[in-house]
Structure formats: structure tokens, C-alpha cells
Amino acid sequence: MFITILSDVCKLDGEGQMNGTHVCRIHVKRDVGVVRPQSSDRCMTREPLAGEFRTHPTWNKSMPVNGQGVFTFNITRNAPFLVVMTTATTSDNVKLTIGETFAELGITHGNEYTRLSRIEKQHVGYEEDRQISYWVSCNRDSLVLKYGKGYTMEETTLLECDLLTRATTREEQKEIRDRYHVLFSAEGKGIVELYDSKAFISSSALKRAKAIDSERSVCFRKNPFIRNLSPFVLHSDHTTLSVLDSGLYMLSGSLPPGCKEMYDNIRKIELDSPPEVDGVLLSDAIRFSIDTNGCLLHNMLQEKARYSCHQHNARETYLRVTLGENLGDSPGIPYVLEIWPSKHYSPIHNHGNANAVIKVLFGQINVSIYNKHTTDPDEKPLKTFVANSGDVTWISQDWYQTHKLWNNTADYCATIQCYKYDPGDTTHWSYFDYVGENSTIEGFLPSSDITFRDMRQKVLDEYRQTLCGSTQVHQDLSTVQ
Ligand SMILES: [Fe+2]
């Protein structure tokens, strides 16, 4: 359960007297319980961990767009660190301080530090010996700041601060905008800096951290994070005013280029198109083959269960029926027909940062979305949605990359999955990483259980023979191809 609390954040003047200035509205996301601001949250002049950080930044870089964006640090830290957003012409700045069990957003104006929002809780701060994506979003138009961990999503947002929320008049808004104009401006050269603590310098973690703290470990997105994008794709030809207004769909014209290409290629594909001759549908033949002892798909599923990574659960299996060849620009063969028997599911896994498009061709599939650093196979998902026949969903490096698919219906489900590396991806990670039984991250090389051509021919033959009254279902199909 997420709750929102309101807090009056008050500044102290130079004499230590409260001047009662309402600075911001604080949104603190919690999964349990009600959090109320402590008295210490209301008055703050001292920066958290003041004096504990290095005087020179470990890392700094100009913002791609002045005054705004999402800045993600994929780093390992065993000590507090500080992210500072400022410009080349001022000492004013926005500070995000990450401790072990807290995170705090603050702003310095005229050498006076004001706490904007703070959260104290396990797992909101740095996590020792784990590479974590710490992200901060800055919106120069709305003056909203956000902090979170993992993927940049509403569900992973831990702190949010709207500097304008307490301004009830245009004059008050203007006063706040003028006060902080130098930080939230298109003109000033925006700079982001990361400061490590002195303790970090002397710790043994430094060598490990240096090894991964290359510039590639820092990602800039030009736009601030506003809201989640829809996981469902709608062809742009079907856009209406209401669709634009609702935000319920990701319009195909707005997909990342890699996804758009795949979407255009598969959006009209259907499982039973063209309809088979002699009244036999491929969808019926697949069901028959899954359900009938001794048939191709039934045998293949039994064989996969025997060699499954999770041998205790035969339902953590599905069939990968590949179409075409691996041309080198995707993890495995780019087009895969996946067959999900009733109640079967995948482990939690990601897609090697590749783009993906999934269309449900038959039945219904549950999709659960997980955060980036999930290692618990029983982790509660960030969100879950149901995709029905005809629905198309998408995945990118930043969106819905880690998921678990689950067929919770009484019939089977068939989906076509398409994969393509992002144009900016220079790693081309060939594996899908999945969460193992013992909370370990394992690599799965996307492979082929059978080609579409072979599967189609054999299941249609099986079904036709049965319809023709033959009792001689293939008995020699136990060999997995
Ligand atoms: Fe997947």
C-alpha cells in the first residue's frame, strides 16, 4: 500500500528561529504502515553527514539538457554518497544524500541548506556489496524532484518533492521560481556531481567501486520522470482524442525504434492465419498435442520438466518454437512462438537489456513486473497485468525489462516474442538473466526447443490422424528436438 503524507518543511533563519516558510509537499512511498513526519523533519539547517564527504567530486558531468533529466548511477557503495545538481555560475545546488538507511533531498540557496524531504527505512539507502541503480529526476518546469532505486518507475520512487505545491497564488509560485531560477533554468550550464564519503576512500570497497565506476555506469535521460508508460501498444492509426488524453496505451509511433520495427513486423500475425485445410486449426492441434499422452508437445514438456532448472516444479516450463535464424542483432533467434500450457509459468527474468515486443496470439497471459535488482524468486511484483489474445506489450532497456509470465487459465496460451538489441547497446548480452531457486542470478541462453516448421507439420499430422479415426498417435516422439 502506498500512502502520501503532507509535511510542512520549515526553514530556520540565521538565528536558529523558525520562519515558518512552507517549502514543499513531501510524498513518501511506503509499502506498510503510516509514516508521520518527525519533529526533526520540520526544522533543519544542517546538511546530513556534513563534513563527511570529500571536497572534490568522484565524478562530474554536464547535464545533456540544462536543469532537467533523470540521472542514474549504477554503482556499488559501502558508504554514504552525495549527488549534487548545480550550475557553473552558482553555489546554489540540489543535494541528494544517500545513507545506509536514509535518503534526503535538500536544496542550498544563498549558502543556506533546507531539507526538502527525507525517508528513513531499511533498503532506501545504499546497499553494501551490491551494484544498485540509484536514480534522481529533476523537472525544471514543475520543480519536482524524485529519487528511487532500480528502474525509474512510479513503483520504485522513494522520495518526491514538489517545490511549488504550497504556493497558492501565482505570486507565490513566481517567488519560488525566482528564488531557485538558477538551478531550474535552460540557460545555466547544468552540472551533476557525485561525492563519496571520506570513509569510502579509505575502505577496501574503493578498488571494487573504481572497477565499475566508469562513465558508462552513469546514465543520463534528457527528460524528467513524470509517470509510467503503458505496457500496452496501440497502433497509432487507432489513436483518438480520448486515447491521447487517457495515457492508457503506448502508441506505436512512440515506441523505441527497435520495438517499433518488431511491432510493425508482427502486429498482424495470428496463430490460425491462414486457416488450415481440412477444417484443422493449428490452435486446436497445439492443444491436442499438449494434452495427449505420447504426442509431440506433451512429450517435449515432460522432457523439459525433467531437465528444468527448478526440478521441483514441472510447471515452470514453456516451449520455445523458433522462427527463422539468429541474425546477430538479438539474444537468440529474434522471433519465437512461445507455448504456455495451463498453469505454467517462467521464472523471474530479464532480457539482457534488449528491446522486445510480445503479442498474445491465443489465450491469456499474466505479466508480473519486477524491479531491476530482484533476487528473491518469491519477490512481490511491482505491478501485474493481464494480456489477452490480440494484445501487444513492449519491453525496453528501461521499461518492463524484468518480468515473469504466467498462464493462469484452464487453456493453453500462445505468444510471439520478438527481440532486438537497442541501437545504443554495445554489449549485446546474449543471455536472459533469471532468478534461481536459491536467490542466485543465473544466465539462460535463449535456445530453440523446435522450429516452427517442424512443430506445425507434426502437430497438424497428429491431429488430422485423430480426426480421421486413427488410434495410432505417434509413439516415437519422445526425443526432444
Ligand atoms: Fe521474458
Q: What pLDDT sits at residue 45?
A: 67
How many angstroms does the Cα of residue 351 sit away from the middle of ligand 1? 6
How many angstroms does the Cα of residue 295 sit away from the middle of ligand 1? 26
How many angstroms does the Cα of residue 68 sit away from the middle of ligand 1? 32
How many angstroms does the Cα of residue 337 sit away from the middle of ligand 1? 12
CA distance 324 to 330: 12
How many angstroms does the Cα of residue 417 sit away from the middle of ligand 1? 8
Q: What pLDDT sits at residue 23?
A: 36
User: In CATH terms, is domain 25-221 a member of 3.30.2320.20?
Assistant: no
How many angstroms does the Cα of residue 346 sit away from the middle of ligand 1? 8
How many angstroms does the Cα of residue 2 sit away from the middle of ligand 1? 27
How many angstroms does the Cα of residue 404 sit away from the middle of ligand 1? 7
pTM: predicted TM-score of the whole model, two decimal places: 0.82
How many angstroms does the Cα of residue 411 sit away from the middle of ligand 1? 20
Q: Which of 330, 329, 366 is nearest to 348 (CA)?
A: 366
How many angstroms does the Cα of residue 471 sit away from the middle of ligand 1? 38
Using pLDDT thresholds of 50, 70 and 90, give the confidence band for residue 446: confident
Least confident of 159-168, 283-292, 444-453: 444-453
How many angstroms does the Cα of residue 367 sit away from the middle of ligand 1? 9
Least confident of 28-32, 71-75, 81-85, 150-154: 28-32
Q: What pLDDT sits at residue 7?
A: 32
The answer on pLDDT for 3 being more than 60 is: no
Q: What pLDDT sits at residue 49?
A: 87
- Superfamily of structural domain 233-467: Jelly Rolls (2.60.120.10)
How many angstroms does the Cα of residue 324 sit away from the middle of ligand 1? 19
Using pLDDT thresholds of 50, 70 and 90, give the confidence band for residue 308: low
How many angstroms does the Cα of residue 305 sit away from the middle of ligand 1? 18
How many angstroms does the Cα of residue 430 sit away from the middle of ligand 1? 13
How many angstroms does the Cα of residue 349 sit away from the middle of ligand 1? 6
How many angstroms does the Cα of residue 402 sit away from the middle of ligand 1? 7
How many angstroms does the Cα of residue 382 sit away from the middle of ligand 1? 16
Q: What is the domain partition of the chain in residue ranges?
A: 25-221, 233-467
How many angstroms does the Cα of residue 439 sit away from the middle of ligand 1? 18
Q: What pLDDT sits at residue 373?
A: 87
- pLDDT tens for 192-243 read 999 999 888 544 444 444 443 333 578 999 999 999 999 999 999 999 999 9
How many angstroms does the Cα of residue 454 sit away from the middle of ligand 1? 23
Domains 25-221 and 233-467 share a fold: yes
- pLDDT tens for 315-368 read 999 999 999 988 888 888 899 999 999 999 999 999 888 999 999 999 999 999
How many angstroms does the Cα of residue 104 sit away from the middle of ligand 1? 35
Joined grid coordinates for residue 332: 537468440
How many angstroms does the Cα of residue 401 sit away from the middle of ligand 1? 8
- pLDDT tens for 262-304 read 999 999 999 998 777 677 899 999 999 999 999 999 999 999 8
How many angstroms does the Cα of residue 457 sit away from the middle of ligand 1? 26
Q: What pLDDT sits at residue 25?
A: 36
How many angstroms does the Cα of residue 441 sit away from the middle of ligand 1? 15
Average pLDDT, the chain: 84
Q: What pLDDT sits at residue 312?
A: 63
The answer on pLDDT for 161 being more than 70 is: yes
The answer on pLDDT for 32 being more than 70 is: no
Least confident of 36-40, 92-96, 355-359, 418-422: 36-40
The answer on pLDDT for 30 being more than 60 is: no
